[in-house]
Chain A
Amino acid sequence: MKIEVLFPEICNLYGDLFNIKYLKDCLPEAEIVNTGLKEQPLFLTEKPDLIYMGTTTEQGQIMAIEALSKYKERIHRCIEDGVSFLITGNALEVFCKDIYEEDEKVADGLGILDLTARRKARKRFNSLYLGEFKAGEKESPIKIVGFKSVFGYAYGENYNNELFETERGDGLNPGVKGEGIRINNFFATYIIGPLLVLNPPFTRWFIKEALMCNSAEIAFSEAAENAYEDRVKEYSDPNTGFYY
């Protein structure tokens, strides 16, 4: 199994890279391929089992867009072919059509997603997140817990591919319940940090269904489950403050 991590030197804020560290702990045989900004991505020549990109700075977003813009068609094709992507935090905006700050366009995105990212002038929105992931019609929804810290939100008219359904906190933008995007095996969410560490039931599903690995058990499962259950309880408690 090969996991390609795009630009870990800049897309590494808020503990996001622990998603990969945790997958490696769960799947010791997995090969992690770190692709730097100035290197040719692995996905040009192979189809990795997973392509990951994490949260970055606003300047980092521009650098990532510059580095990936010449591979837009290839990325499109990978998504259509069912290659798994996990995109966390504001890396999601790299895949949008464009990024605006207030009314000023600051960058063209890759245009993979039919969304426009709109930032407020350096105002951050911090909140906890509680939602659900619906794996399938017959399966019970999986609770998702996390944290969001964004300078803006993503908006789109034809938005109906949400990854998670929000219970508390903001969706992709404050006007929608849906959080993130799922297209085939392309998973993108504004949730920052070690999403997979914090959500062992989702990780279990992700490894089995998205990475198509049936045999793996998640690492430190008892400690991870205990912390997760405590967190779900806490975030579901109406007395828990949700916005910073």
Chain B
Amino acid sequence: MIRFYIALWASKFAMWVYKLRGGERNDRPGLLAFKICPDFLKRISKPPLVICITGTNGKSTTSALVNNKLVSEGYKVSFNDWGANLYAGFALNLMRCVTIFNRSRYDASVLEADERTLDVSMGMIEPNYILVTNICKDSLRRNGHPEFIFDIVDRTFDILGDKTMAILNANDPISSQLAHNSRRVFYGMSDIKADPFENKVKDIAVCPYCGDYIRYNYRLYRHMGDFYCPTCDFKTPESKYYAKKVDLENRQMIVTENGQDTVYPLISDAVYNSYNVLSCIALLREIGREKEDIAEFLKSQQVTKIRETCVEYKGIKYYTYGAKSQNISAASTVFEYMAKEPSDKDVVLLLDELQDKNHPTETLTWLYETDYEFLNSPNIKKIIVGGHMFLNQKLRLLLAGIPEEKIVCVENEADIPQHVDREGIEKVYVLFEIDCLTKARNMRDAIVRKAKEEDTK
């Protein structure tokens, strides 16, 4: 216990120093706590409500929505919205919630959590709820393969047992198999005629119980859908929260719960964001929020600016759009969106992970698992790639069947703006690795600036 208090006081002092220097989001104080006291996360007092949101994709958007709702109600919430979703970030998050005497002074903690270390971290934190958005193919270096991640998340629920309620995606053949021995509820979606593209490589193709091919009554995106095994009883579980109608154009969906329908607003026109809203609704309902309150709250919500921004100049919309390089499923889903979003567009790829500059190879394997073929679409007029992987990107785009005349690959990213068109396009999308938001905005602004300079000549 003495060790714990030393850790708490030392890390709180460090947090105070960082705050004075304007670095209040630096998670080093959390790391310090963890180093001094390895079971810090277990010993620290928790707020009355602790919610963990994990999964390959959608956890940032979903946890932001949940946090926003609680804050809008006047709750004092600690939320690791700066992306520190490992031990140090959790320690910092929870440390903020307690006094120097380890007494809880917050109402809730929302923990966006990386799946890779979930068993150890959540085994200590023991959250009230764990929402799993999905399990898909992710970064090789960080996450290996979906089966590896499934085992970690499933082990987490085994450790927690009945202490934690699982909120799961019924349409995901992988994550819906979690938490067999825990309390769990499912959310799911009807056939919304999403007409998803076929991924080159599926995240899961065969039944985990008998090995037969998984089949679908309908798919929504990637491997999400109404699935079943023709040989055994592996199938989509029944959803307590069921989106029976999703109107992406008008951005609303009808969710059936215990036979009653409620209309909820959506935050975007993308299928995957509808899932994020649906999972958020399921969680908020489980913690006792009224349907009408949730619907009213969602009216004010939009996709976080970290993921998407837009400026317009002379009739062309210039976007920054988060795509997560190395996360195969996220990048493929964004590429699919680029093809389906009907505008004629140029697409700029800024997908090098800065921290991997010295480790280029992983980015090669993800290139060949990601569906670059989706970018071979008539409404995508040009694909402009910059960065140290430009030669590899060019080869991959060619292998995807994209005509060479549509491809521009330059090592120096500063050269990108001169290749962006202004004729024959309605939009320009700068797809960026989400850790590089500022870089993406700077690139987008440089493209707009170039257009303005041309007009002043």
Q: Which residues of A contact B (CB under 8 A)?
A: 9-10, 12-15, 17-18, 21-22, 25, 36-38, 57-60, 63, 122, 124, 126, 128, 145-147, 149, 192-194, 197-198, 219-220, 223-224, 226-227, 230-231, 234-235, 239-241, 244
A227 touching B395 in the complex, CB below 8 Å, given contacts A37-B211, A126-B362, A192-B365: yes
Interface CB pairs A-B, < 8 A, 5: A9-B206, A14-B368, A18-B399, A126-B362, A244-B359
Residue among A13, A14, A193 with most chain B CB within 10 A: A14
Complex alpha-carbon distance, A36 and B214, angstroms: 13
**Contact (Cβ within 8 A) B362 A223:** no
List the count of A-B residue pairs having beta carbons below 8 Å apart.
103
Q: How far is the CA of A75 from the CA of B41 in the complex (A)?
A: 53
Q: How far is the CB of B177 from chain A (nearest CB, A)?
A: 13
Q: Roughly how many angstroms separate A68 CA and B442 CA in the complex, as a whole number?
A: 54
Which of chain B's residues 144-174 have a Cβ closer than 8 Å to chain A?
A: 144-148, 151
**Closest chain A CB from B221 CB (angstroms):** 19
Extra 14 A-B pairs, beta carbons < 8 Å, given A15-B364, A36-B213, A126-B141? A38-B212, A58-B147, A59-B147, A59-B208, A124-B144, A126-B140, A147-B361, A147-B364, A149-B365, A197-B395, A227-B391, A227-B395, A240-B358, A240-B359
CB pair B140–A14 under 8 Å, yes or no, is yes
Q: A residues within 8 A CB of B366?
A: 15
Binary contact track B257-283/A, C-beta < 8 Å → 1, others 0: 000000000000000000000000000
How distant is the Cα of A25 from the Cα of B208 in the complex, in angstroms? 33
Q: Tell whether B369 is near chain A: CB-to-CB under 8 Å.
A: yes
Closest to A147 in B: B361
Measured between C-beta atoms, what is the minimum distance from A27 to chain B in Å?
Answer: 15
Q: How distant is A26 from chain B, measured CB to nearest CB, in Å?
A: 11
A21 and B399 contact, CB distance less than 8 A: yes
Known A-B contacts A59-B147, A147-B362, A244-B359; the reply to A223 vs B206 at CB < 8 A is no
Any A CB within 8 A of the CB of B392: yes
A57:B211 contact, CB within 8 angstroms? no
The SS class assigned to the A binding surface is mixed
Which positions 334-373 of chain B face chain A at CB distance < 8 Å? 358-362, 364-369
Output the nearest chain B residue to A237 by Cβ-Cβ distance: B358
- Bound complex: CA of A96 vs CA of B352, how far in Å? 37
B398 within 8 A of A: yes
A149 & B140 in contact (Cβ 8 Å cutoff): yes
How far does the alpha carbon of A2 sit from the alpha carbon of B368 in the complex, in Å? Answer: 23
A149 to B392, CA, bound (A): 20
CB distance from B408 to the nearest CB of A (A): 13
Chain A residues with CB below 8 A from B144, complex form:
124, 149
CB pair B395–A224 under 8 Å, yes or no, is yes
Which chain B residues lie closer than 8 Å to A227 at the CB level? 391-392, 394-395
Q: In the complex, are the beta carbons of A14 and B369 less than 8 A apart?
A: yes
The answer to whether the Cβ of B202 comes within 8 Å of any Cβ in the partner chain is yes
Given A15-B367, A192-B365, A223-B398, verify A9-B208 contact (CB < 8 Å). no
The answer to whether A17 and B395 have CB atoms under 8 Å apart is no
Q: Is the CB of A57 within 8 A of B147?
A: yes
- B362 CB → nearest A CB, Å: 7
Q: Which residue of A lies closest to B214 (CB)?
A: A9
User: In the assembled complex, which residues on chain A have CB atoms less than 8 Å from the CB atom of B358?
Assistant: 239-241
Q: What's the Cα separation between A198 and B364 when bound, in Å?
A: 9
Give CA–CA (A85, B202) in the complex, Å: 24
B200-230 CB contact bits vs A (8 Å, 1 = yes)?
Answer: 1110011010011100000000000000000
Instruction: Give A152 to B201 CA distance when docked, in angstroms.
Output: 24
Task: Kindly list chain A residues whose C-beta atoms are within 8 Å of the C-beta of B360.
Answer: 231, 234, 240
Beta-carbon contact of A13 and B145 below 8 Å: yes
> Nearest Cβ in chain A — how far from B303, in angstroms?
30
Q: How far, in angstroms, from A197 to B398 measured CA to CA in the complex?
A: 12
Shortest beta-carbon distance from B138 to chain A in Å: 12
Q: How far, in whole Å, are A148 and B381 apart by their CA atoms in the complex?
A: 36
List, in ascending order, chain B residues with CB within 8 A of A12's CB. 201-202
> Do A220 and B367 touch across chains, with their CB atoms under 8 A apart?
no
**Once bound together, how far apart are the Cα atoms of A124 and B141, in whole Å?**
9
How far, in angstroms, from A198 to B367 measured CA to CA in the complex? Answer: 12
CA distance A38 to B205 in the complex (A): 13
Task: List 5 tightest A-B contacts by C-beta distance, closest first.
Answer: A15-B368, A147-B361, A9-B205, A227-B391, A57-B147
CB of B159 to closest CB in A, whole Å:
16
B372 CB to nearest A CB, Å: 11
Which residues of B have CB within 8 Å of A149? 140-141, 144, 365
A182 to chain B minimum Cβ distance, whole angstroms, is 23
Cβ–Cβ contact B141 & A244, under 8 A: yes
Can you name the residue of chain A whose Cβ is closest to the Cβ of B362?
A: A147
Query: Hey, which chain A residues are within 8 Å of B208, CB to CB?
Result: 59
Known contacts A9-B202, A38-B211, A147-B362; is A197 also within 8 Å of B399 by CB? yes
Which residues from B are CB-within-8-Å of A38? 211-212
Is the Cβ of B148 less than 8 Å from the Cβ of A57? yes
Contact B211 A63, beta carbon cutoff 8 Å: yes
Q: Which residues of B contact A13 (CB under 8 A)?
A: 145, 201, 369
- Asked if A223 meets B141 with Cβ closer than 8 Å, knowing A9-B206, A241-B358, the reply is no
**Which residue in chain B gives the minimum CB-CB distance to A9?**
B205
Decide: B205 and A223 in contact? CB cutoff 8 A: no
Question: A22–B399 contact, CB under 8 A?
Answer: yes
Q: Which B residues touch A60, using CB under 8 A?
A: 147
Interface centre among A22, A193, A198, A235 (most CB of B within 10 A): A193
With the chains together, A126 CA to B144 CA distance in Å?
A: 10
Q: Which residue of A lies closest to B398 (CB)?
A: A220
Query: Chain A nearest CB: distance from B259 CB in Å?
Result: 39
Q: Which residues of B contact A240 (CB under 8 A)?
A: 358-360
Alpha-carbon distance A230/B213, docked complex (angstroms): 41
Most chain A CB neighbours (cut-off 10 Å) among B359, B391, B395: B395
Interface pair A57/B395, CB less than 8 Å apart: no
Measured between beta carbons, the chain B residues less than 8 angstroms from A224 are 395
Task: Indicate if the CB atoms of B145 and A57 lie closer than 8 Å.
Answer: yes
Tell me whether B368 and A18 are in contact (CB under 8 A).
yes
Contact A197 B391 (CB under 8 A): no
**How long is the Cα–Cα vector from A192 to B141 in the complex, in angstroms?**
12
Which residues of chain B come closer than 8 Å to A36, judged between CB atoms? 213
* Residues on B with beta carbons closer than 8 Å to the beta carbon of A15: 364-369
Name A10's contact: one of B205, B362, B368 (CB within 8 Å).
Answer: B205
CB neighbours of B391 from chain A (8 A): 223, 226-227, 230
